[in-house]
Copies of this chain bind each other. A is one copy, B any other.
Amino acid sequence: MLNSVTDAFRADLKARLPAAAFRDLTPNYLEEPRGRYAGGDGFLIAPGSTQEVAAVVSACASAGVGIIPYGGGTGLVGGQIAEDGPVPVILSLERMTAIREVWPDENVMVAEAGAILSSVQDAADAVNRLFPLSLASEGSARIGGNLATNAGGVNVLRYGNARDLCLGVEAVLPDGSILRGLSRLKKNNTGYDMRHLLVGAEGSLGIITAASLRLFPKPQAEGAALMVVRDPEAALSLLALAGDLLGSQVSAFELMHRQGLDFLAEVGPEVRAPFEAPPEWMVLVDLGCFAGVDPAEALEQLFAEAAERDLVSDGVIAQSEQQRRDFWVIRESIPEANRRIGSVSSHDISVPVGRIPDFIARGGQALAQVGDFRINCFGHVGDGNLHYNVFPQPGKTRADHEHQRGAVKRVVHDLVAEMDGSISAEHGIGRLKVYDLNRYGDPAKLAAMRAIKAALDPKGIMNPGAVVG
């Protein structure tokens, strides 16, 4: 069992760390970002250096005090929210925001864990490079949290998840030792890959304090098209065709159902309708091209070949960067329309790409057994990652379906599991999905996770209650 922070513990750390490391515990450190629930209490410390993080962790290890690592606070599964119970240290990385160094010719940058994601993007941009991780909360999420949760986003299709953008990490391990792994190397086969163990561990095995990040050349020309597809299966064939023709120049491939457009018409935000009648299914194809390729021409060729195969029936190719942005505004307004409608239940799931059509068909059928819902299904279809959100019919509210929420989740997750999918594609396990992980996870994997957790964190001080429960 862990111990609560005591007055003596506070005094001891205050004597050892600069005053700047201590700040008042305002409610935002304890609240889930959508305001759904809040944690108990905590002793907030914001160290200014890796050495100071190590000093805090060592003190907690000695005293048996739990630590909640805290990045931008944008996580959606409660990984950063202290539960009731022994009062922990809330260790915020907010003062470690430096971009330590950038090597543009090497396509590498070293950033501290507290750097805001958008500032990491900006630092890359300043040397004519791209850091491609991009997601809705990039203005407040911190790169350490993005890595700890292996964040995804819209560019995974082309550039991979957060872990794929990380060459190495510096981290403080549960015994207070500092792992010095800020490798800039593309090839390094010297023992177990601690980077990939810490990335995605959600702070339960150590605290990432800095990371070396991969940068990329910026595409020289970008373009986008909206294409009306026959059905989700045609969308997948179109995606494969786009890969055959254009390879990795396909930056994003987003599927949208008419339900999302209907929500936009119903509650806003107002967007420019690209087609006269809202299509049942459409995709947004985004390209980033290099020397010699004109994106609009490439998209025209793609559309022509897709039309020949009867995959698409209508399409608009952006004729300007403004029009390309307008297309993205539609895609990015759908979550806001969803919020205004108010979902009964939302799911961050993935299935093997080829099973998406079957999942959509069977999901609708199974949910009809539970109740009368509207389903808005959209997302990063190239990654097999769907935002599969269930809504009340017009005139009903989220509250009317309160009693069905558990059943809805269960139906969706059971189907995902049956199709070898994931119950958490992007957001992680945190504290909200520990039960689900235990229910759906592979038993050998769960046993290995527990053994690794016990080996590296024998007192269980690192983000107690998260991931491994």
Contact = CB atoms under 8 A, between A and B. Distances in A.
A246 B290 contact: yes
A113 to B, nearest CB: 17
Nearest to A190: B424
Given A420-B184, A451-B455, A455-B454, A245 B290 contact: yes
B248 A422 contact: no
Interface in A203-221: 205, 216-217, 219-220
B352 A449 contact: no
Q: Assign chain A's interface to a size class.
A: 35 or more
A192 interface: yes
Contact of A352 (B108, B177, B194, B350): B108
A249 B180 contact: no
A396 to B, nearest CB: 32
A380 interface: yes
A448 B106 contact: no
Contact of A452 (B163, B183, B192): B192
A455 B156 CA distance: 33
A194 B441 CA distance: 12
A284 to B, nearest CB: 18
A201 to B, nearest CB: 6
Contact of A186 (B149, B290, B353, B437): B353
Interface in A411-469: 420-429, 433, 437, 440-449, 451-452, 454-456, 467-468
Contact of A425 (B128, B187, B442): B187
Contact of A246 (B291, B433, B442, B454): B291
Contacts of A105: 236-237, 239-240, 353-354
A187 B236 CA distance: 17
Contacts of A292: 292-294, 297-298, 301
Nearest to A164: B164
A104 to B, nearest CB: 7
A420 B190 CA distance: 13
A423 B237 CA distance: 45
Contacts of A217: 243-244, 247
A191 B156 contact: no
A354 B384 contact: no
B177 A443 contact: yes
A350 B177 contact: no
Nearest to A219: B247
Nearest to A108: B352
A179 interface: yes
18 contacts: A152-B187, A177-B447, A179-B445, A179-B448, A185-B420, A189-B424, A189-B426, A189-B427, A190-B429, A190-B440, A191-B437, A191-B467, A192-B467, A217-B243, A247-B249, A292-B293, A448-B456, A452-B452
Q: Which 5 A-B pairs have the closest CB atoms?
A: A196-B196, A455-B455, A188-B422, A184-B352, A187-B425
